[in-house]
Every structure is written in structure tokens, then in C-alpha cells.
Amino acid sequence: MTEVLLGVAALVVIVAVAFGFYYHEVRRGRAGAARFEQALTDLQAHKYDTAEKTLSSLAANEPHRAIGRLANLYLASAYLAQKEPAKARDTLLRYLAADDASIFRGTALDNLAVAYEEMGDYKQAEDAYRQAAKIEGPEQARAELGMARMLQKQGKRAEAISVYNDFLAQHPYAPERRGVMETLAQLGIAADTQAPIVKIIKPASVPTK
């Protein structure tokens, strides 16, 4: 009977500890989410220093949670806004290494390219833009143009022209088309790729009696 009672007592303790840990984690997760939301509000309000401190704390203290990993992405935005591209680069590399399957991978690569570009490392910026351009999403067109721009800055005129022409062919209705065509004109190339003309076919009239 003593052994049974001891076994029951041990089980009760284990269950109590498990429940205590669970509720502690729930409270911790909710607190982290509230801090993350406040940091995003601070970013939008251009309170970059305040947002940086909160996001840096989340990234350091919650590295195994999604919110901790995502904090690195927005922390990089705070660094870029404060003209600290080297810190942004390191933060984005850390984010990409920890969460390489993230749906925000394209955004992270695009921002990484911006960081490299601001540092004057045009080759690394080109590589990051090139990777981002392969990912379908809202950042794809921007990445393609960024890649062409980096090729220009490296003196690779022919490659840049090729990328610009591919952009015109693949994005016939993009708002950036006019800017691209002006850039090609400055490079001495007349862009002949135009948006396709959509013909509206009227239905045949039905003869009336």
C-alpha cells in the first residue's frame, strides 16, 4: 500500500509540474505576442530605437519560437531604417539560417540585398536579389529590377540589359515598365517590348424580324 501511495503521489506531482509548465508557456507566449505587436506599432510610428530593443529581446529570449525567429526579420528593418546595414545583414543571415522555409523568405532576401547594396557590396547584393527573384510573390518584380541595377553598378551592361528586357517581356502591365524603358534608353537600347493589345470581340448581332 505504501508503494502504491508513493506511486500515486509521484504521478500527481508529475501531472502538476506538466500543467504548471504548460500554463507558464501559454502565458509566456501571450506576453511575447503582445510585445511583438507593440514593436510593430513602434516600427510603423518610426520609433526605431524602441522597436529595436523589444525585437532584439524577443529574438534573443525566444529563439525556438516562431515569434522569436520572426523578430529577426523586423529587427533588420529597424536597423535599415537607422542606416545600420551591417547589423541588418547579420540579423537577416541569422533569420534565413534558422527559418529557410519561411513564407517571408523572399522579403528577407530582398532586404538582405538592400543591406549589401547600402554597404557597397554589389556582387553580394546581386546574388541576394537573384535568389529573391526566383520566389513568386509581391517582392519578385522588385528583386528582378534590383538584380539588373546591381549588374549595372558592376559594369555588366549586357547582362543588365538582358534582365531589363526579360522584365518587360514577363511583366507587361507592371507600373515599373516606363522606368525600365527609360533606363534602357539611357543605356542606348530602344525597348521594343510593349504590352499586348487586348482586342474586344463584340458578339454577332442577332437579326430581327
pLDDT digits (tens, 9 = 90+) for 3-27: 554 455 555 556 555 545 444 445 6
Only one residue has cell 531589363, namely 164
pLDDT tier, 194 (very low <50, low <70, confident <90, very high otherwise):
very low
Please say whether the beta carbons of 112 and 96 come within 8 A: yes
Mean pLDDT, the chain, integer: 81
Domain 19-102: CATH architecture, name and number where available: Alpha Horseshoe (1.25)
Its sign, for the CA torsion 93, 132, 102, 176, is positive
> 138: helix, coil or strand?
coil
207 or 140: which leads in pLDDT: 140
pLDDT for 200: 36
pLDDT at 54 over 90: yes
pLDDT for 20: 55
Q: Hey, how many other C-beta atoms are within 10 angstroms of the C-beta on 97? A: 9
Query: 95: burial class by Cβ within 10 Å (0-12, 13-18, 19+)?
Result: buried
pTM: 0.74
pLDDT at 157 over 60: yes
